[in-house]
Structure 1
Amino acid sequence: MTAYAVVRPSARETRETALLRVLACATVALAPVEGYLTAVQSQLGKLAPALLVAGWLAVRIRRRQLPCPTPLHAVLALLAVVLAATAAGHAAGPFTAAYTLRWLPFLVVTAVLADVASREVPIRWLLLAAAAGATVAGAGALYSLVAEGEARASGPQPDPNDLAYFLVAAVPLLAALHRRGRGPALTVAGVVLVAGATATFSRGGALGLTAAVGWLLLRRVLPWRVVAAAAVAVAVLGLGAWAFAGPQLDRALQEKSFIAATNVDTRELRWQAAARMLTGHPVLGVGPGGFREHYAAESHNAEVDEQTPVAHNMYLEVAAELGLPGFALFAGVVGTAAVASERTVRRAGPGPARTEAAAIQASLLAVLVTSTFLSEQYYLPLWSLAALAVAAETRIRREGEGSADAGAARDQ
């Protein structure tokens, strides 16, 4: 008979694992409230990701471990190469260096999150951290609307639409966190997230939330009664807000109606300009930040008061700036995450792993729908969700291999 010894981690390894867990959770939790951090110090929001990367690198070197290889890492590496090539080709651009430096940290942090989430950090912890950070941002949104008198809730984000992006991306994650005894807390968080997103008056956010909830219902992760209860709670909260701040909300709706009509026209102009940039520079694009640089010329000064805007469409902006190869790799990040999460849903039996994977899918769907109307490639949810999707598949595959090895050992 063969004896199999259980290898226990040393005290040092335990501390290292705890450190990586804290830093990874802090990275995803603080992303929605980065605006509050930068108000204190301009670089404070970058501290947690920087510490995570540094801590991860130190641990891997000390343990002599290579990153857990996944298709996502290969796609990220190729995207970094294309990014460097297009940045070099447009090095003289006024925004090239700054936007290249905005891209690179997301590629690195995504690779690190995918690695630590497949090894040291439980997926559930990261989902909980993301939902908690977004709930704080949602509370800030409601406070900015009711207490500070803003026409549209913004809270920790300068743009209400960006805030809606964070909030609707976090709503599906609550479905993966349900556990006996946590129901009331998750219900409160869900109401805060949905009410905060509603207070931004973001149409893209509303479409993203609708798509996410529909996906959860389709995958039978979210019961209809929960949706109905949440809708009633948000409606009651809305009626209460109208009773206490009716004139203010009425003014906000009037302003949003006026802005919405203008947004339709300006976004059409920007999308057309991005398409012209892509057709004119299909291989390397116009470079990181190039949309802002070339917009006035490509639109023939269609917006005199806005010379360096964003495209308000993540897909067109990435394609225009990085070219077709860069866009293909960017889409590859999303595609890799989608395939990995679907494999996890199908391989995992009924239980937490399947629920978590379905919630990640729904959240990713909300991100993709919302980004049709916003330029959100410079915010963490898209990247962290891709990392978690791949890490979840790695974990479920490793568990399957472990079960197969254990079965073979028993047979022997």
Structure 2
Amino acid sequence: MGLTVLLRVLACATVALAPLEGYLLRVHGQSAKVVPAALLAVWVFSLVKRRRLPAPHPLHLVVASLAVVLLATSAVHLAEPFTLEYLVRWAPFLVVTVVLADVAAREVPVRALLAATVAGAVVAAAGGLLSLVGGEPRAAGPLEDPNDLAFVLVAALPLLVALPTGRRSRIVLLLLGAVLVAGAAATFSRGGGLALACALLWLIARRGLPVRAVVVTAAVTGLAALVLAPAAQAGLARALQEKSHIAGTNADTRMLRWQAAARMLADDPVLGVGPGGFRRQYAAAGHNAEIDEQTPVAHNLFLEVAAELGVAGFALLAALVVVGFVASERALRVVADRREALALQAALIAVLVASIFLSEQYYLPLWSLVALAVAVERRAREGSGRCASCT
């Protein structure tokens, strides 16, 4: 019993603290790794004590294969300056994906993890809004880049659908949704806005969210914006001016980086240029198109992964996403309450759309959402199996 409680606390803390990494890093450079490391240690101890292994799932094959590709391309590019640094950045996400999928299927209620994810995102959104008060032109809060904050918030917003919807709960969810929407809007991220729109359309199309809820949340957020706008008029005008000034530049630089990533993939299609290789080779592949930015990210998760890990790495990342969607779709066929599976699907869609414009493979939402989708499927299968045996 004690192990179960500890696993629940650590798993929920892992997903809740992920959006707040920037705040944790200000406390200590390694503080963001403490809770996930503790979760891993307790999980391994629980497996040994209970003498069991995680139930096999295609997710494990995909993650293991991706690990092999990472090790192979890292070995080839071991002498490069960023290889080991970026390999170390990849490893925790692979491990946490497996751990979350297992504990969420057994010890930790999926809904508790979804609630913890939303809670962390709400705190991050509040931090972003407070950063505007502190003089920042765009909300960033615990994350350095406002676009990264938008990514985290729009990935969490669809998960509200899966939370309890009693009379009192609806008011709380409405307020939480308004905070998340306001925080995302304050980042002025166009990609985040598009990602959120796609997620909402998916939920509405699959009858996971009534249009009325969207309208009410938008109305509450808009009313709050009207009330607060006069107090923040100068800052809002400055933010809009800054965003409009850099919008065209962002589009141009993204195209340059996407082209550079495509060249890297064409030159090294098998194993790519290695973890961190885009950062190292951008100046050469981009023909020094950005003199003031020699080591950037590609601003596209798919192209950056393809350039660094080759066709095999890209295919495995795509397979990871497919595993998540297939698992959630299978769960939808057997569960009475469809909200969790639909919320995870919509959140994954938001992640994928936002990742067209951002390099977000080093943030937890992609990995945790796939893990929870697998957990929902396993719980659904076990539940249907028990019901069948009862009849």
- TM-based fold match above 0.5: yes
Partner of residue 67, structure 1: 54
User: 1:110: how far off?
Assistant: 0.2
Q: Which string of whole-angstrom CA distances, capped at 9 and with x for unpartnered residues, describes residues 285-342 of structure 1?
A: 0000000000000011110000000000000000000000111111110000011111
One-letter amino acid matched to 2:389: D
Partner of residue 367, structure 1: 351
One-letter amino acid matched to 1:172: P
CA distance in 1, matches of 2:177, 2:4: 30
CA distance in 2, matches of 1:241, 1:87: 50
Mind listing any 5+ residue stretches in structure 1 that lack a counterpart? 1-13, 408-412
One-letter amino acid matched to 2:83: T
CA distance in 2, matches of 1:260, 1:346: 43
Q: 1:166-177 maps to which residues of 2 (within 5 A)?
A: 166-177=152-163
Which of 326, 331, 339 is 1:355 aligned to?
Answer: 339
Which of 256, 274, 280 is 1:269 aligned to?
Answer: 256
Which of 216, 226, 235 is 2:203 aligned to?
Answer: 216
After TM superposition, the score normalised by the length of structure 2 is: 0.99
CA distance in 1, matches of 2:384, 2:235: 56
Partner of residue 259, structure 1: 246
Q: Say whether the 8 Å CA contact 1:311–1:374 is kept in structure 2.
A: yes
One-letter amino acid matched to 1:169: A
Q: Say whether the 8 Å CA contact 1:344–1:396 is kept in structure 2.
A: yes
Partner of residue 164, structure 2: 178
Mind listing any 5+ residue stretches in structure 2 that lack a counterpart? none
Partner of residue 144, structure 2: 158
One-letter amino acid matched to 2:225: G
Partner of residue 119, structure 2: 132
Q: Which string of whole-angstrom CA distances, capped at 9 and with x for unpartnered residues, describes residues 102-158 of structure 1?
A: 00110000000000011101100000000000000011111111x201000100000
One-letter amino acid matched to 2:366: L
Aligned: 1:328 with 2:328: no
One-letter amino acid matched to 1:158: E
Partner of residue 41, structure 1: 28
Partner of residue 297, structure 2: 310
Q: What SS does the corresponding residue of 2:138 show, helix, strand or coil?
A: coil
Partner of residue 6, structure 1: none
Q: Say whether the 8 Å CA contact 1:68–1:118 is kept in structure 2.
A: no
Q: Which string of whole-angstrom CA distances, capped at 9 and with x for unpartnered residues, describes residues 215-235 of structure 1?
A: 111111111111111111111
User: 1:406: how far off?
Assistant: 2.3
User: 1:346: how far off?
Assistant: 2.0
User: Which segment drifts farther, 363-372 or 182-191?
Assistant: 182-191
CA distance in 2, matches of 1:334, 1:200: 26
Aligned: 1:395 with 2:371: no
User: 1:248: how far off?
Assistant: 1.2
User: 1:178: how far off?
Assistant: 3.0
User: Which segment drifts farther, 174-183 or 244-253?
Assistant: 174-183
Q: Which string of whole-angstrom CA distances, capped at 9 and with x for unpartnered residues, describes residues 6-26 of structure 1?
A: xxxxxxxx1100000000000
User: 1:61: how far off?
Assistant: 0.6
Partner of residue 410, structure 1: none
CA distance in 2, matches of 1:318, 1:271: 12
Q: Which string of whole-angstrom CA distances, capped at 9 and with x for unpartnered residues, describes residues 26-77 of structure 1?
A: 0000001111111111111111111111110011011111012111011000
Higher Cα radius of gyration:
1
User: 1:179: how far off?
Assistant: 2.4
Partner of residue 298, structure 1: 285
CA distance in 1, matches of 2:278, 2:386: 49
Q: What SS does the corresponding residue of 1:243 show, helix, strand or coil?
A: coil
User: 1:211: how far off?
Assistant: 0.6
Q: What SS does the corresponding residue of 2:232 show, helix, strand or coil?
A: helix
Which of 68, 77, 89 is 1:90 aligned to?
Answer: 77
Q: CA RMSD in A?
A: 0.7
CA distance in 1, matches of 2:13, 2:236: 34
CA distance in 1, matches of 2:156, 2:316: 25
Q: What SS does the corresponding residue of 1:66 show, helix, strand or coil?
A: coil
Partner of residue 383, structure 1: 367
Q: Say whether the 8 Å CA contact 1:164–1:202 is kept in structure 2.
A: yes
Aligned: 1:102 with 2:89: yes
- Runs of 4 or more consecutive aligned structure 1 residues displaced over 2 Å after TM superposition: none
Q: Say whether the 8 Å CA contact 1:49–1:109 is kept in structure 2.
A: yes
One-letter amino acid matched to 1:355: R
User: 1:400: how far off?
Assistant: 1.1
Percent same amino acid among aligned pairs?
A: 61
One-letter amino acid matched to 1:309: P
